[in-house]
Amino acid sequence: MQTDTPFDAYMRGDDCALTGSQIRGLELFAGKAGCIDCHNGPLLRDEAYHNIGVPPYDGWEDDPLAQITFRFEIFAKGATQQMYREIKDDPGLNFRAKHKPHMGKFRTPSLRYTIYTYPYMHNGMLETLRDVVEFYNAGGGENEFAATKSEQIKPLGLNDAEIDDIVAFLETLSGEEILIEAPELPEMDPLPVVQNRGPRT
Amino acid sequence: MTIDLKIAAAINGPQGEAKAAEIAQIDVQRIYIAAEWMAKPKADGTRPKTFIMIEKGFYWSNNTGNTNAISSLGIIVGAGGRPGQVIGRAGGHQRGGLRGGKYPRNKSPEKLPGRRRRALDTDRYLISGHTRLAHVIGTTWVKAMCGSQSLQAKFDELTTRNPHQVTSFTKEDIVETLKQRVDSGGMVVWNQDIYLVDPIGARYADIVFPASGWGEETFTRANSERRIRLYPKFYDAPGEAKPDWWIIAQLTRKMGFEGFDWQNSNEVLEEGSRFSRGSRKDFHMVKVAAHREGKTPHKKLGEFGTNGIQGPVLMRADGSPEETKRLHDVNRVLPPEGPVGGTVFGKKLTHFNSQTGKCNLQKAPWSLFSSYWEWLKLREGEIWMTSGRINERWQSGYDDRRRPYIVQRWPENWIELHPEDAAVYGVENGDYLRSIARVGDSETIAQSCVERPSLTPLLRALLCRPDLGRTELICLMEALFRRGPTAA
């Protein structure tokens, strides 16, 4: 795992790796804001599934092509006729489990190198890290799957300065952007053509 | 159930039940009695617990309609996914293992239209004389289901009748002879099995790899209810016999492949466990739990004792394993946090394994099958033999001649005959009979094709096997046997 981030340096004992604001953010992350309840472990994720009430992608309402694609995906991934016609949002884990209590649940993502992964949430409905923290501060959002919304998501009562601190801390979880160099591709070498020999007797 | 039967009648026509009764040689009313036993609600409104077991030969005829019909019946009566209500196939099959790697299908010599290729048909490839080295593992091959006399003849031609035969005890000479055989268009055979099988091992194999069986090496497997458990070694393997994984590892390393450096079967299990994820025998989480506790999967599975643990194994958020008592369990509540960590949820845990997770009831109308049934009738005093079974004997007994107990108990094949059928032929209990099959007579087939075009695909299949079958049997007479179709 890549650990060349200010946060990892701080955890290794370099007290100067984080600024005062970032350290306050870390304390809020692990305390008042309760982020650590789900974003924990080496990857800062619990590898479990939750519905935090992310609103559906707005393109599914006003972009005809997105609407058609959405309906097709619902159909192709296996849904009942009723779901196919009526559902307005991504059923998430339910595609896999076919189990109503898992409607709209998504896997907690890692926070490592997260400044490069905007826009945020499974459907990209939040643009910046600040939007994300404000979203949680407001107690999540509303979507079609209210019945499965996580009880851990509730208003946090953070003020603007505290939100700034948390955002500052989240930025310390990323190091230099990891980019993959384009590999040298081998020359195209198709398999030799095999002739059909007709039925064998 | 009355409604269901009405639907069945509507699909199958007014003569549906009468036809079914005629085929089964029972009274029509008994079909209704059976239906009531299976599905009529009791006084308190609950339904009877119905358990449906299918003899596996039932779908060996590749008759989808039959399989559809009985699956639908099972679903209608609520069999499956509930305690005491089961639908399943009787008859053993290879169920305990972990699926192996994929074959490189795009290197198969057989081409389909477009870019696709058909998986290699090893029988036809061999009969065409292309096989140079056959590594035969745990199969009788020439005596297996699709084995034929022409396959055996080709085996003879490529091995025992090739001029390059081993006559020396020197390793170099042996290798040189086998190389010459291959270069001359012949074939070298390796046979790997837990006992010597004739002829594949006894006559055709140039090299025999004796493999150890269960109990001769600690290993893991699953039984037919997906119960994964440790089978500890309690016995030494005979002679130089080694586990299959050890033999494969030696060969692959000799061939220059990397890896395959397992020291024991636990290491094989460790490498394979993640490939079980999402399958009915998913035990990957047992390995994850074992490693967290600083144990090997073998040690961890040993702790589950004789009962083992039923796959698929999930892991709860607190790290504890959760086994699967039954698949398609309508009463199961999955953990709310979803498949944590490396756990995989499959819809078959709580639902049907269809795309939507819902049941797909497929119609199996009699009209699809009736023309075949009309054609498939006893003619000119025929007796039909199906493959009957004796509990102690595997299939036709081809692989049981090495077992003295079975050979002494069942020294001959036999045929069950109704006394009235026996009277027609003038035979009695204990008579030595010879049955001759003329299925595949090409003249008859050509005629039938013209008469019943819908049968053409089936008859074409028959055309592939225009052999004349002949069997010697002992007559067993009993009035309880059905007339006509019989077991032998």
Please tell me the distance from the alpha carbon of residue A32 to that of residue A111, in angstroms, as a whole number.
Answer: 18
Please report the pLDDT score of residue A15 as a whole number: 92
- Model confidence pLDDT, tens digit, residues B47-76: 899 999 887 767 766 677 778 888 888 988
The lowest-confidence range among A104-108, A170-174, B71-75, B380-384 is B380-384
Residue A84 Cα, gap to closest chain B Cα (Å): 11
Chain B positions touching A96 (Cβ under 8 A) are 339, 345-347
Question: Best of A50, A83, A99, A201 to disrupt the B interface by mutation (most B CBs within 10 Å)?
Answer: A99
pLDDT at residue number B1: 39
Do the Cβ atoms of B449 and B401 come closer than 8 Å? no
Residue B471, beta-bridge partner list: B435
Cα A155 to Cα A137: distance, rounded to the nearest angstrom: 5
B76 or A191, higher pLDDT:
B76
Question: How many angstroms separate the Cα of B1 from the Cα of each of A70, B73, B464?
Answer: 40, 11, 43
Is there a contact between A97 and B109 if contact means CB atoms under 8 Å apart? no
Q: Residue A104: which residues within 8 A CB-CB, separation 6 or more?
A: A51, A89, A90, A91, A92, A93, A94, A143, A144, A145, A148, A149
Beta-carbon pairs below 8 A across chains A and B: 63
The mean pLDDT value for A158-171 works out to 96
The answer to whether residues A29 and A10 touch, using CB atoms and an 8 Å cutoff, is no
Asked if the interface predicted TM-score (ipTM) of this complex is over 0.90, the answer is no
Tokens of B357: 């997770």
- Omega before B365 cis (within 30°)? no
Contact predicate B117/B111, CB 8 Å: yes
Q: Which residues of B touch A (CB under 8 A)?
A: 106-107, 109-111, 113, 117, 124, 128, 317, 333-334, 336-341, 345-347, 349-351, 354-358
In this prediction, residue B182 carries a pLDDT of: 97
B286, amino acid identity: V
**Touching check for A149 and chain B: CB below 8 Å?**
no
CB distance B358 to A80 below 8 Å = yes
pLDDT of residue A72: 92
Instruction: Decide: helix, strand or coil at residue B85.
Output: strand
Cβ-defined contact of B350 to A96 (cutoff 8 Å) = no
Output the pLDDT for position B389.
62
Q: Is A153 on the interface with B (CB under 8 A)?
A: no
pLDDT value for A56: 92
| pLDDT value, residue A193 | 65
A113: contact with B, CB 8 A cutoff? no
pLDDT value at residue B466: 36
Question: Which residue, among A64, A62, A60, has the nearest Cα to A74 in the 3D structure?
Answer: A60
Query: pLDDT by residue (tens digit) across B392-418?
Result: 777 666 677 788 888 888 777 777 778
Strand bridging mode B432-437 / B485-487:
unpaired
* CA–CA dist B105, B154 (Å, integer): 25
Contact A80 B358 (CB under 8 A): yes
Residue ranges of chain B whose pLDDT lies below 50: 1-5, 440-468
At residue A196, does pLDDT exceed 80?
Answer: no
Does A150 reach chain B within 8 Å, measured CB to CB? no
The reported pLDDT for the residue numbered B465 is 37
